[in-house]
Structure 1
């Protein structure tokens, strides 16, 4: 291996690591606010990339129907609860909150020639279609289980991922897709070419790392979100809307996942089931950060991406084994570093 090959592998590792960093940040974000280990985070990556691919092909994205179905289900659920408690005055507001966003998205998708839209407009439509799925899934799946144990929430997350995997196969089929690059510009550094797409991925990851670190560490709103995970009842007593906090966390996670799919789509072919492996590697990075530290999770993600890239060169058949084996010494170190607490009741 010469210096040029090493530099190319390092560039590829940092680009891949940036995607894993975004996934790890979303996992840490959701866990910090809701105590949910969100196994389905990678599904938002797939939804983002394949929705953009549908728009670039001039098709109505199938994820819109998933959005509409979730909105109708949430509307029916909240209306039933309002009727049961005889709060009929809430019905118009519930209908407006659930059905108006989907109607606006439908209007935006129907008003334009999707194939010939500018790239940024297609990206904006992708975000409008996929991001609302986050809070809707929280309302339908997790909100009523917020007081249960972390183990129960993990089991529910696995079940939700299996459902989303089946829906993804139904919506997009088994064929893989690769989106058009947002920019074809390449910069020459010595003997190596660095694509602007790769720099956008790394820049987006670093920007989100800084934003989330500042949000949760230095703002009152971020600390209020974290308080819902540490003591949900105490947070309610001091006036923190815990349901809104959970929905906000899932909305941010869906936004981050969708952005990840948009950024990685031109670099690799994504299939309906690609999200699970991406989530696992992001989870390895999140474990390195102890599911609590955004900078450490990001550093772990870049380590995972670089290790995977060099493993593909030296031992491509064992690259997955090498990456996932990394979690063993990390867990041992964390186990020795932190005292064991009693089983959660």
Structure 2
């Protein structure tokens, strides 16, 4: 192995690691706020990539119908809750994001799907379709289980993963898809030639991580999420809605997952079940960070990406085994260095 091969493998490792970092950060965010190990994170990667691919190829994405169905179900749940509690204050917001938004996206789809529109507009439209599915999923499945144990939430996440994978097969089919690169060409950095797409992915991940840092540190909603992550009971006592925090965290996770899928769709073929394996590698990074540390998760993700790149060169048939075996020493180290804590009542 010469230096050229090492640099190429490092480039691939950094590209993969940046994506795993985003997914790992999303997993940590959801877990710290809601105690949900969000296994379906990978499905949002798939949904985002395939929604964009369908739009570019002139086909109506199945997620649009899924959004309409989920919106109606959430609306009915919220309506029954409002009738039972005899309060309709702010119900117009429910109508706006469960009915008006999905119907509006459906009505404008003929002008977007297959049209000669810029790629970035297709990306924004795809995000507008996929991101609301995160809060809707929280309302349909997790809100009623918010006080359950972590084990119950984990089992629920496994069930939701299988359900979303099956829906992906129904709405997208078994065929694989790719999307055009955001940027074409090569960029010379020193003696190393980088593809413009790789540079775009790395810069996009850096901008997104910086945006999340600003959001959590400088905005009211970001600080509310941080407070809920530190102490859910204390957050409720000072007037922070844990339901709002849960929906917001699921929405951010859906946005991160969908955008990550769009970033990798130009470099790898995406199938209805591709996201699960990618999400698991983000989960390995989150485990390195102890499901609580954002910096350690990012560092772990870069290490996972680089390890995977070199493993694919030396032992491509066992690269997945090598990557997932990494979780064993990390769990052993965590078990010996951490004290057990009880869940909140």
Deviation digits for residues 168-208 of structure 1 (CA, Å, limit 9, x no counterpart): 01111111111111111211346643111111211222223
The residue aligned with 2:188 is 188
The residue aligned with 1:264 is 264
Tell me by how many angstroms 1:329 deviates.
1.3
The residue aligned with 1:251 is 251
Tell me by how many angstroms 1:339 deviates.
1.7
Deviation digits for residues 48-90 of structure 1 (CA, Å, limit 9, x no counterpart): 1100100111111111011111100000111112223334676
Tell me by how many angstroms 1:322 deviates.
0.7
The root-mean-square deviation of aligned C-alpha atoms, in Å, is 1.9
Tell me by how many angstroms 1:330 deviates.
1.2
- Label 1:235 to 1:312 Cα distance change in 2 as closer, same or farther (>3 A): same
The residue aligned with 1:294 is 294
For structure 2, list consecutive stretches of 5 or more residues without a partner in the other structure. Answer: none
Mapped partners of 1:112, 1:66: distance in 2:
18
Tell me by how many angstroms 1:230 deviates.
4.1
- Label 1:312 to 1:88 Cα distance change in 2 as closer, same or farther (>3 A): closer
The residue aligned with 1:313 is 313
For structure 1, list consecutive stretches of 5 or more residues without a partner in the other structure. Answer: none
Mapped partners of 1:40, 1:113: distance in 2:
26
Number of paired residues?
345
SS, match of residue 315 in structure 2? helix
- Relative to the length of structure 2, the TM-score reads 0.94
The residue aligned with 1:62 is 62
The residue aligned with 1:169 is 169
SS, match of residue 187 in structure 1? strand
Q: Do the aligned partners of 2:182 and 2:200 also contact (CA within 8 Å) in 1?
A: no
The residue aligned with 1:86 is 86
The residue aligned with 1:45 is 45
- Label 1:8 to 1:79 Cα distance change in 2 as closer, same or farther (>3 A): same
Q: Do the aligned partners of 2:149 and 2:343 also contact (CA within 8 Å) in 1?
A: no
- Label 1:113 to 1:51 Cα distance change in 2 as closer, same or farther (>3 A): closer
Mapped partners of 1:282, 1:88: distance in 2:
40
Mapped partners of 1:118, 1:214: distance in 2:
29
- Relative to the length of structure 1, the TM-score reads 0.94
- Label 1:67 to 1:264 Cα distance change in 2 as closer, same or farther (>3 A): same
Q: Do the aligned partners of 2:63 and 2:130 also contact (CA within 8 Å) in 1?
A: yes
| Alignment map for 1:144-223 (pairs within 5 Å) | 144-189=144-189, 192-216=192-216, 221-223=221-223
SS, match of residue 194 in structure 1? strand
Q: Do the aligned partners of 1:209 and 1:294 also contact (CA within 8 Å) in 2?
A: no
SS, match of residue 248 in structure 2? helix
- Label 1:93 to 1:330 Cα distance change in 2 as closer, same or farther (>3 A): closer
The residue aligned with 1:102 is 102
Q: Do the aligned partners of 1:287 and 1:327 also contact (CA within 8 Å) in 2?
A: yes
Mapped partners of 1:109, 1:13: distance in 2:
37
